[in-house]
Structure 1
Amino acid sequence: MVPIFNHLSREQAKTFSLVLNSSGIGNRVVGTDDGFRIEVPEPYTEAARNAIGQYQAENPEVASETPADGGQPTFNLSGIVVAILLLCVHLSVFASAAPRDYVTVFGASAHRIMAGELYRCATALLLHADAAHIAGNMVAMVLFGGAVCAVTGSGVGWLMIAACGISGNLLNAFAYGSGHLSVGASTGVFGAVGILCSLQAVNAARSGRGWKRTILVFGAGAALLAFLGASARSDLGAHLFGFLSGAVMGGAYRLWMTQPLEKRWQILCATIAAAGLVLSWVRGATR
């Protein structure tokens, strides 16, 4: 089965399915993280597009409400949820009796990571130094994390972003070896930026816009890294490795996946991401 229309409302999907059925074209409606999509057998793809196109031509008010085939939404509300969770963790830590102890035990200490305390690569993502630090990362997660999830679906998106943050902290620890300590979700934020750059770059290559467009996309990502991630208080190494991890992961996703996974797989990926973070904190707390 081949998807031909994506990100439809329930009513739009039901209507399109009825149109295809009346034309003798078998189809199925699939619920996704971003609405519904219509799938048809591959040999009937062109006939299905023609049937829907004719229906839209006869009903222009419907056509104006239908997203373009293969189009993507640009925002996902899960970014707000993640930002609120980051704030809750930050407030809980600073309301504790010894907030600095959290950084000592759960921060991304290069020396301790190299000594085998790999859980720190994950736990450090949820810790922030002060109000400005948490506020900046909350806004960035809403914008960039939400943009990633609008393309990949919430579960896959946040699993990828968490994986970028963890791998970025790990690579940064290897680069420093010792004598370095960092905290913050910004490694994951720049992972999201890298994912977005790769998604756009692969799309450009596939659409025939070539290497110039690809260079332009990654140049914009590098400029964003330099502008937001290289200040005196920023951990440039973690940001850079997060961005590079995201670039690899986003490219692999776009080359492998043509459509977001179905809802049950999104839930599974979100569960894996959440479980990984929780288990990392449990591991750190019980050492």
Structure 2
Amino acid sequence: MTSYSPESLAVVWASPNKKAAQEAALVLRAIGLEHQLVGGPDGWSLLVSREHANQAASELRGYQDEKAVWPPKQVPFEKVSNGRLGALAYGLMMIALFPIGQQGLAGKNWYEAGLVDGVRLRAGEWERLVTALTLHADLPHLAGNLLFGIGFGVLASHTLGTGLAWFLALSAGGLGNWINVLITDPSHRSLGASTAVFGLLGVMSSYEWIRRKHLPLVALRRIAPLMGAGVLLGFLGMGNSDGAGQVDIGAHVFGFLAGIALGATVGYARIPQRLSSKGQAWTGFAACLLVVFAWMVALSR
């Protein structure tokens, strides 16, 4: 360390507590500012050259300001909804439509009428974007989408509310199917709720990222939802068979991306905070009505 004459030194920190003085010295050491820590009968003093006194004092004030608010105050999380009603409705609908899709009903082949068919969608049969989300190829296909759909649905309902969460899931699933059809071969055919399930994952991650921007959290904790969702997409979305031994990666990815866009939109617009309980109920009812209407159109063709 460079030696200074006593006249060229200024005291920038004084404390009777040795540990506090050592912490202050560590702050200056971290920025490469030469200093001296001197102990005496009245306590400890931190000295620097007079030309660096203002800089040292500024750094120490900043350190004290940060220390005063650390650790950040934990904001209690309040659930918008417990999510049970939406999860029950989703589960019952998927279970009820599974045998109907397999065997048909009222003389109609629901499987062919409802699955995503690139040729027919391009011909204007828009309802397949929705109806395909309610059909499954076999029991393992159904079980996987029930497990993750209910799990993600409950979690999303905690922050978004039940009605809005499932409306966004349906919207992301339909959008994901539409984009997938636009960029794939016209003969592309698919079915299953997984597009909506991964859409829901995207909605949750982007909405939570927006929500955390308003909380006193470090940057890594703010982006953690997006990182976690990306890992889940890679782990689950690249190996979830549609029941025919094939994985519709495009539908999973585009459903997820559609969910990211929708979740960010409702987050920036603060829709969950603006939506009343009655609004949540009407939004959930709209999602159910859309499914019913899509099937009515599909079966009338």
Q: Could you state the TM-score of these two structures normalised by the residue count of structure 2? A: 0.67
Instruction: Write out per-residue CA displacement over residues 179-217 of structure 1, whole angstroms, 9 at most, x where no aligned residue.
Output: 211000111100110011112211232225465445443
Letter of the 1:267 partner, please give it. A
1:166 corresponds to: 174
Cα distance change of structure 1 residues 81 and 98 upon mapping to structure 2, 3 Å threshold? closer
Q: What is the rounded CA distance, in whole Å, between the counterparts of 1:154 and 1:93 in structure 2?
A: 26
User: Is 1:268 aligned to residue 282 of structure 2?
Assistant: yes
2:264 corresponds to: 251
1:71 to 55, 74, 78: 78
Q: What is the rounded CA distance, in whole Å, between the counterparts of 2:218 and 2:96 in structure 1?
A: 44
Instruction: Write out per-residue CA displacement over residues 10-62 of structure 1, whole angstroms, 9 at most, x where no aligned residue.
Output: xxxxxxxxxxxxxxxxxxxxxxxxxxxxxxxxxxxxxxxxxxxxxxxxxxxxx
Q: What is the rounded CA distance, in whole Å, between the counterparts of 2:211 and 2:289 in structure 1?
A: 32
Q: Which has the larger radius of gyration?
A: 2
Contact 1:103–1:183 at 8 Å: present in 2 too? Answer: no
Contact 1:161–1:192 at 8 Å: present in 2 too? Answer: yes
Map residues 21-40 of structure 1 onto 2, 5 A cutoff.
none
Number of residue pairs aligned between Structure 1 and Structure 2:
220
Q: What is the rounded CA distance, in whole Å, between the counterparts of 1:214 and 1:174 in structure 2?
A: 34
Letter of the 2:153 partner, please give it. G
Instruction: Write out per-residue CA displacement over residues 47-100 of structure 1, whole angstroms, 9 at most, x where no aligned residue.
Output: xxxxxxxxxxxxxxxxxxxxx755236841121331121111102333437999
User: Is 1:88 aligned to residue 88 of structure 2?
Assistant: no
Cα distance change of structure 1 residues 253 and 97 upon mapping to structure 2, 3 Å threshold? closer
2:210 to 202, 213, 227: 202
Secondary structure of 2:213's counterpart equals helix
User: Is 1:133 aligned to residue 144 of structure 2?
Assistant: no
Which structure 1 segments of 5+ residues have no match?
Answer: 1-67
Contact 1:114–1:177 at 8 Å: present in 2 too? Answer: no
1:239 to 252, 255, 259: 252
Contact 1:122–1:166 at 8 Å: present in 2 too? Answer: yes
Q: What is the rounded CA distance, in whole Å, between the counterparts of 2:200 and 2:122 in structure 1?
A: 25
> Which shows bigger deviation, 152-161 or 123-132?
152-161
Contact 1:191–1:244 at 8 Å: present in 2 too? Answer: yes
Q: What is the rounded CA distance, in whole Å, between the counterparts of 1:109 and 1:82 in structure 2?
A: 24
Secondary structure of 2:136's counterpart equals coil
Q: What is the rounded CA distance, in whole Å, between the counterparts of 1:147 and 1:221 in structure 2?
A: 13
Which structure 2 segments of 5+ residues have no match?
Answer: 1-74
Letter of the 1:134 partner, please give it. L
1:153 corresponds to: 161
1:58 corresponds to: none
Q: What is the rounded CA distance, in whole Å, between the counterparts of 1:93 and 1:178 in structure 2?
A: 23
Identity fraction in percent: 28
1:143 corresponds to: 151
Q: What is the rounded CA distance, in whole Å, between the counterparts of 1:99 and 1:140 in structure 2?
A: 32
Backbone CA RMSD of aligned residues: 2.4
Map residues 174-185 of structure 1 onto 2, 5 A cutoff.
174-185=182-193
Q: What is the rounded CA distance, in whole Å, between the counterparts of 2:195 and 2:157 in structure 1?
A: 17
Secondary structure of 1:191's counterpart equals helix
Contact 1:153–1:260 at 8 Å: present in 2 too? Answer: no
Q: Could you state the TM-score of these two structures normalised by the residue count of structure 1? A: 0.70
User: Is 1:277 aligned to residue 295 of structure 2?
Assistant: no
Cα distance change of structure 1 residues 192 and 270 upon mapping to structure 2, 3 Å threshold? same
Secondary structure of 1:259's counterpart equals helix
